[in-house]
Each structure stands twice: as C-alpha cells, then as structure tokens.
Structure 1
C-alpha cells in the first residue's frame, strides 16, 4: 500500500470512531452534539475528565468498547505514521548511499552537465553506445524526467561548482559535455573542469555565435552550436537531399544500421607495421576505412591508399555495422 492510501486509511479510521462515538453518546445520554463530541474525545484520549451526564450500564459498555477500539486504532495509526516517516528517511538515505557507491566506482567515464533538449539527445546517444556516464542537472523536474527513462546515474547539482564536479568523479573522468542553458554557465563549467582535470576532453555547447572562441580560451577542446548545425542541416535538406539521406544512414536515423567509429592501433597488434593491403581490414571485418589520424600530429588522411603504412597509435576511422567493430578492435589489439 502506498503512502497516500495508508494516510487516507488512518484518517478514515479515526474519523469513523469519532462519528460513531459522537452518535452513540448523543442517542444514549440525550445530550447535545457538542457534549457528545467532547465525551468521545476524552474517551478516545483516556484523559479521565468527568462525564457530562450520568452513565447507565449500556453507556458504560459502549465506553469500554470505544476505549478498546480507540486504543487499537491510535496504536495502529501511530505505528503507520512512524513507519511512513522512517520509510521515507531510510529510503532516501539508502538511495544516497547507493548513489555515492556508484559515483565512486566510475572510472574513464563521461560527465554530462545539463539534461535539457541538447543534453537529452547526448544521454540517449551515450546509452546506445553503452558508455559509462553521469548526469548533473540543477532543475529537479528535468532530473526526474531523466531518471524515469531508465537506470541512468544522475544527481541534482550546479555543474559550475567544483564540489559538484568532484562528486561526479571528474578526476577519473575522460570527457565532459557542458550542455547547460546559457553560455555563462557553460563557460564557468569549462573553467572549473579544466582546472580540476587538465587532461579532460571537454566539449561545450555554444549558444551565441561569439561564444565559440571564449569557450575554447576557457579550456574547451571543441565547441558545438546546435543552432548552427540545425540551420546547416535544414539548408542541406533543401539543396543536397541525397547527402543528408546518407548522413542519416550513418547516424542511425535511417533504416540501415551503419555508424562511424574509431579504433586505436595498439603496439602489439597484428595491424602494426603493415600496409592497408597487407592488413586486409575490409575483407576481415566488412568495415570501410574512411580516414586515418596520425599519432604525432593532427593530420587526418582521408581515403588512404593501400600502400599506407599502419603504425601503433594511429586512429582508424571506419564506417560499417556496429556488430563488426569488435572484429577490428581484436585485430588492432584494442580488446
């Protein structure tokens, strides 16, 4: 029985006893309703005040029964009320302890700051990729909406606060997304995050056009403007509809389940020091190599030739079905 039903039952039982007692004394003792109500209350509370009228045998038996029923009901009601209070307190304490244990267990995870429209799409994407992450949201309504979606690790807090970021395990995190509702909050979050973890990969939401550079100077590695991306996409749907259809396929918006992924070549892998022709990656994995990012610089080689030499530390950017990705990870020594 939930709290609302139990509370209603307690009130209903007490009200029923008061009504029965008042009606009984009114009819048996021939007194006013006020006096009958008074007699009922002093009988239920067992305070022992003087009766307002002489008590005959029937009234005495009625009083004995009313006392027994009242004591039982009040005892039950008191126990239920105490149970409700302790239940809520203990449950909240248990949830807090469980949350603390889950947060302490996080490592190499992503911190999502803000669960608004942009944050919600980030959360859904991370869930599909089975990535460990924690959500920080200041508004209780948005936080509850996130928790109702599934077993998402999320807690209420101000992401611009160092204490809140430390609670989210920022020192052990690998990335942070600042997707709050204004540039000022995103800027403060980026500043705090960069100070707490210099090696953190930070992606920040830029709302206004001139906020990109400020966020980068504050410590963000990358900035994204949902408004700009939305505008470009809408224009592309008008001028390049087939390109958009292809991109939809890659981003799981289409019916074909393809995705862009990246895999790092490890030093002890069988791909290291082989050419693309010798590695035969497409034949072994059914994945298409789109580009290769070199280890020692930011250069990205698009559509690499078969003679391209694979080295440890290079990042392979591939297109294909997610289920084939583990084949490549196994070849690259990433599993």
Structure 2
C-alpha cells in the first residue's frame, strides 16, 4: 500500500509539473516572447537555476504570472522528488523488515528440511515438500531465484551452502534432514562434509552424477545418494523393455520409486510376452502364480487386443500374444521365466534377455 502511495504521489507531482510548464510557455508566448525564450525562461525558473530573466519583466501581470510559475513549478518538482525518495526508502525498509521476519521465522522453526540449491531439481523438490506440508528452508546463492520461493511463503537464505555461517542461519542444528541438490558434485560433497560436521544426527540426502561420486558422498557423511542420470537411464530402459508395466503404473516418478522400493525388499517386477509356443499359453493365472515356491503375483494381464486386466482372476486363461506383469521374489523369478521361455527361447526381464 505504501509503495502505491509513493507512486501515486510521483504521478500527481509530474502531472502538475508538466501542466505548469506547458501553461507557462503558452503564457510567455502570448506576452510576445519567442517559443525558445519562453521554454528557456520556464526551465531556469522552475528548476531554480536563476541565470537571470530572458527579457526584462516590467508588466505587473507578467510578474505575478512568473511568481505563480515559480511557486507551482518548484513545489510540484519537490513533490515528485519526495515521492521518489519515499519509494526508495520504503523499499529498503521493507527489505530490511522482511529479512528480519525471515530470520525470526527460521529461528522458530525446528525439525525442518534444508534444501541446498534452487535450480530445476531444487524447485521441483520444494514443490513436492510444500504439498506434503513439510517445513523447509531453501539455501541458494542466486537471490533472484530465491525471491520467487520467498513470495510463495518459503523461508530462504541467500548464500553459499558450503559456508558454515550460511547453514547455521538456515537452522541446521535444529533441522531433521538436509538435501543438497546443487549442480556440481564437488559442491555437494563440500555441503555434505560441512553439514555433517555441524550436525552429526541430521539425515543428509545428496545428489550425485556418477557412481564414483556416490561413493565419495557416502564417505563424506551422506545417508542416501540420488543419481538423476541413472534414474533417467532406468526410466528410458523401462520404456523400451517394459512398455506394458509403464502403461500400467502410469506415473513415471511412482514407477521409479516403486522399483527402488521393490529392490530393497528383494522383489522384482517383470513383463513376460506369451507366444504361441510358450508353455504358459493356455495356463490359468492360478497355475502361473503357483510356479516356483508360490511367491508370484500376477499384477496384470495385458490382452493381445489391448485390454488390461488388473488383478486378474485365478480362472482367467493366458492366450498367445498376451503379456503378463508379474511381481515376485527375486529367487522365484528364474522358475517362472524358464517356464515361459521353455518353448519360445527368450524373454525379457528388466531389459535383460534370458535364454532357455
């Protein structure tokens, strides 16, 4: 509101100043002065230069007119200048107050997440965490990028995340987790080292670009390392080798997280194409789930004509041209894959060909 008030003041002052200048030029012109002399007289009068009158002013009416030009022009000019100064001062005060409020807000926050880096990955991460309602503080050297997050109500700290002072301003002593998603591997390693030194119990999740960096980050104190390049490659591989699984799951992020969670529990998901010579052609879902030690679950049956049966019945029969989406313990995968490939010769499991 105060910012708009100063702008309104400047606009009003400019309107009066321009109106006074135009009226004065017209008045002097009507008094018999040339346009150039009139403009020159108005300029030195309003802006207080005072080089002297262009022509001697002996007419009382012209003297009164000049006096009005001086008062009105100088007053409107000062009014414009005052509005400009007010706008600058208010902006500086608001920034100072905003920084103070931000500092107090961070000081009162605990068990929060610290996000180091507000690039593409950082922005996506902040969006996800805001949806989850998790309190957070974003640290980045680019003040322009942080301004957007600040407008959205996110606590921000401008500075280098490898600096201990900056991390302390972000409340690392009270934070529960720190995610460093900077573009450079070296920066993420330094942030990890600094954060672990400041808070031994904080959970650190770091972004890396290679397996070698992953080892360095883990040795530096990271609890978990995320490799976006590897995730992207796995995503593309899944699109190529298991299109039906990808269609079934739908969301790419959920599919990647699902695969990681399955591997942690020793599980795997595979897609089995059924051809006319496959031993599973003509078998029921019950027969397939009993293959091996009974640890197989047919998640979906993709018919040859495009229909997808999620959670098919035990009595459903598998036909040639269908595709099976099976969830199983890894030790049970060879049995079902050998059964399916008994006559066909090859099948695909997560991009790897198996030969009977």
Fold in common (TM above 0.5): yes
Deviates more, 1:173-182 or 1:4-13: 4-13
Aligned-pair Cα RMSD in Å: 3.0
> Which residue does the alignment assign to 1:215?
217
Hey, what's the Cα distance between the residues in 2 that align with 1:210 and 1:220?
Answer: 14
Secondary structure at 1:210's aligned position in 2? helix
The question of 1:91 aligning with 2:94 is answered: yes
2:155 is aligned, of 149, 153, 156, to: 153
Could you give the per-residue CA deviations for residues 28-74 of structure 1, whole angstroms, max 9, x where no partner exists? 142461x3333223432456654222221331232122123224312
The question of 1:79 aligning with 2:79 is answered: no
Q: Can you give the 5+ residue segments of structure 2 that lack an aligned partner in the other structure?
A: 256-260, 263-328, 330-356
> Which residue does the alignment assign to 1:325?
none
Preserved CA contact (<8 Å) 1:207 1:227: yes
Task: Describe the shift of the 1:248–1:198 C-alpha distance in structure 2 as closer, same or farther (beyond 3 A).
Answer: farther
Hey, what's the Cα distance between the residues in 1 that align with 2:105 and 2:244?
Answer: 45
Q: How much has 1:175 moved relative to structure 2?
A: 0.7
Deviates more, 1:54-63 or 1:139-148: 139-148
Q: How much has 1:154 moved relative to structure 2?
A: 2.1
Q: How many residues align?
A: 254
2:113 is aligned, of 110, 115, 130, to: 110
Preserved CA contact (<8 Å) 1:138 1:158: yes
Q: How much has 1:188 moved relative to structure 2?
A: 1.0
Task: Describe the shift of the 1:184–1:5 C-alpha distance in structure 2 as closer, same or farther (beyond 3 A).
Answer: farther
Preserved CA contact (<8 Å) 1:112 1:135: yes
Secondary structure at 1:220's aligned position in 2? coil
> Which residue does the alignment assign to 1:206?
208
> Which residue does the alignment assign to 2:242?
240
Secondary structure at 1:111's aligned position in 2? strand
Matches within 5 A, 1:294-333: none
> Which residue does the alignment assign to 1:327?
none
Hey, what's the Cα distance between the residues in 2 that align with 1:116 and 1:193?
Answer: 20
Matches within 5 A, 1:116-127: 116-127=119-130
1:25 is aligned, of 19, 25, 28, to: 28
Q: Can you give the 5+ residue segments of structure 1 that lack an aligned partner in the other structure?
A: 254-258, 261-301, 303-335
TM-score (norm 1): 0.67
Hey, what's the Cα distance between the residues in 1 that align with 2:9 and 2:91?
Answer: 14
Matches within 5 A, 1:121-136: 121-136=124-139
Preserved CA contact (<8 Å) 1:29 1:53: no
Could you give the per-residue CA deviations for residues 208-248 of structure 1, whole angstroms, max 9, x where no partner exists? 33210111111111111011012112212333345445655
> Which residue does the alignment assign to 1:143?
146
> Which residue does the alignment assign to 2:41?
39
Secondary structure at 2:172's aligned position in 1? coil
Please say which structure displays the higher CA radius of gyration: 2
Task: Describe the shift of the 1:59–1:211 C-alpha distance in structure 2 as closer, same or farther (beyond 3 A).
Answer: same
The question of 1:188 aligning with 2:160 is answered: no
